[in-house]
Amino acid sequence: MDFKIIPSTCSYCGTGCGVLFQVMDGRLVDTLPMKTHPVNQGRLCIKGWNLHEHVISEKRLKSPLIKKDGELQETTWDEAIKTAADGLKAVIKDHGPDSVAVLASAKITNEENYLVQKFARAVVGTNNVDHCARL
């Protein structure tokens, strides 16, 4: 049996509690509060205690999807990325970069948010980038 404890940060509200993910034989089995953490000092709320449950949910997307004949179907990453890139390039060519917008996210990491806005600004060429801080 291989058992690991991985320190991390809760991804529900903006409080930012320190959590410990418990991993047994490569499977995420539970969430514990981090005792030493300056924010939560060894405590969690009901959402934090159950943080692992959404991760291992059966409802998780397991593959990229593409709409064909009006239905979303599983596809490969190569096809998904190529179709997206071709579609975006066509819109930019016909209507200019400001006809494209990107929504960043309050759920993804700083590194990923940095890349999302870099993508909008440097790759597409627009400042049409926002996220749901207002919502």
Partner 1 sequence: MTNSIAEFEDSGCIFIIGSNTSACHPLIARRVFRAKEKGAKLIVADPRNIQMARFADVAVQQRLGSDVALLNGMMHIILKNGWHDKTYIENRTEGFEDFEAVVESYTPDKVETITGVAQSDLEKMAELYAVNSPAALLYAMGITQHTTGVDNVKSCCNLAMLCGNVGVRSGGVNPLRGQNNVQGACDMGGLPNVYPAYQPVTAEANNEKFSKAWGKPLSDKIGYTITDMIQAINDGKLKALYIVGENPKLSDPNQNHIDDALGKLDLLICQDIFLSETAEKADLVFAAVSVAEKEGTFTNTERRCMKVNKAIDPLGNTLNDWDIISRLSTEMGYEMHYENPEEIFNEMAALTPSYGGMTYERLGLDGLQWPCPNAEHPGTPFLHKDQFTRGKGLFHAIEYLDPAEMPDEEYPYWLTTGRMFAHYHTGTMTRASKHLDTEQKTGYVEINPKDAKALGVNDGDIVHLATRRGETKVPAKVSKMVEPGVFFVPFHFAESPANILTNSAFDPIAKIPEFKVCAVKIEKAA
* Torsion angle in degrees (nearest 10) through CA of 23, 62, 122, 88: 180
- Name 6's bridge partners: 21
The pair of structure tokens assigned to 84 is 């997206």
Residues in Cβ contact with 103 at an 8 Å cutoff, skipping those fewer than 6 apart: 129, 130, 131, 132
User: Are 7 and 20 in contact, with CB atoms under 8 Å apart?
Assistant: yes
**Residue where the block lists tokens 């991760």:** 55
List binders of partner 1 among 71-100 (CB under 8 A).
72, 77, 80-85, 87-89, 91, 94-95, 97-100
Could you say whether residue 30 binds partner 1 (CB under 8 A)?
Answer: no
Could you say whether residue 133 binds partner 1 (CB under 8 A)?
Answer: yes
List binders of partner 1 among 7-26 (CB under 8 A).
7-18, 21, 23, 26
List binders of partner 1 among 97-116 (CB under 8 A).
97-116
Could you say whether residue 70 binds partner 1 (CB under 8 A)?
Answer: no
**Residue 1 CB, nearest approach to partner 1 (Å):** 16
**Residue 73 CB, nearest approach to partner 1 (Å):** 10
